[in-house]
C-alpha cells in the first residue's frame, strides 16, 4: 500500500501525569496512507472486502496495488459508491482510483466546498444531495447504476454491497 506505515505513537508524559497513569501514548493518525484522517485504512479495507465479495473470492499473495488491480480487472466497469461528508469518501475515491475503478461519492450539499474539491481531486464524481449525511447515505443506497458496489462507513441495507 502506498504511504502505509504503522501508526506513530507519541509519548505524552504530561497528560499521563494529569490522569494519574504511569504512561500514556497517543496515536498520530494525521497522515494515514497519505490522507489526513484515520478513516483511510478502514475505507480501504471496506472497499477491498466489497470487491472480494463481488468477485466471489479473495486474491492470494498479492504484493502490489497493480497485482490487486489486475485481479479485480474482470469486475470493470464497476463504480465504487460511497456516502460521506468528507474524509471517508475521499479515502474510498483514492483507493478506487488506485485500483482502476470509477468512484461516485454522495455528499450533503451543505458540506464546505474544500471537502468536495478534496474528494473530486481523487478522481471521483461527486453528487451533492439536499439534506443531511443520512440523506446522502440514502441517495448512495438508491443509486441505480447497473454495475456498482456500495462502501459505506455506517450500517446500510445490503451490508457492504448493493446492486
- 8-56 per-position pLDDT tens digit: 899 999 999 999 999 999 987 766 666 666 677 788 889 999 999 999 9
Catalytic residue among 23, 28, 85, 87: 85
At CA 48, angle to CA 130 and CA 68, rounded to 5?
130
Annotation marks residue 85 as catalytic:
yes
pTM, whole model, 2 decimals? 0.78
The active-site residue out of 39, 87, 102, 153 is 39
At 7, the pLDDT band (50, 70, 90 cuts) reads confident
> Residue 156 has what pLDDT?
56
Which domains does the chain carry? Answer: 37-150 (3.40.50.1100)
| Cell numbers placing 126 | 461527486
Q: Name residues whose C-beta falls within 8 Å of residue 83's C-beta, 6 or more positions apart in sequence.
A: 89, 105, 106, 107, 133, 136, 137, 139, 140, 152, 153, 154
Instruction: Give the chain's mean pLDDT.
Output: 86
Amino acid at each position: 500500500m502506498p504511504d502505509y506505515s504503522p501508526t506513530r505513537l507519541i509519548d505524552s508524559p504530561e497528560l499521563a501525569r494529569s490522569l494519574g497513569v504511569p504512561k500514556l501514548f497517543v496515536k498520530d493518525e494525521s497522515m494515514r496512507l497519505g490522507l489526513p484522517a484515520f478513516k483511510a485504512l478502514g475505507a480501504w479495507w471496506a472497499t477491498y472486502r466489497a470487491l472480494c465479495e463481488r468477485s466471489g473470492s479473495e486474491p492470494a499473495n498479492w504484493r502490489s496495488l497493480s497485482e490487486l488491480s489486475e485481479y479485480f480487472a474482470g469486475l470493470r466497469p464497476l463504480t465504487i459508491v460511497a456516502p460521506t461528508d468528507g474524509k471517508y469518501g475521499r479515502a474510498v475515491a483514492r483507493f478506487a482510483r488506485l485500483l482502476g475503478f470509477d468512484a461516485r461519492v454522495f455528499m450533503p450539499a451543505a458540506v464546505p466546498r474544500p471537502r468536495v474539491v478534496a474528494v473530486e481531486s481523487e478522481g471521483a464524481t461527486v453528487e451533492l444531495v439536499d439534506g443531511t449525511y443520512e440523506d446522502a447515505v440514502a441517495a448512495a443506497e438508491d443509486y441505480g447504476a447497473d454495475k456498482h458496489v456500495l462502501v459505506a462507513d455506517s450500517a446500510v441495507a445490503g451490508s457492504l454491497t448493493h446492486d
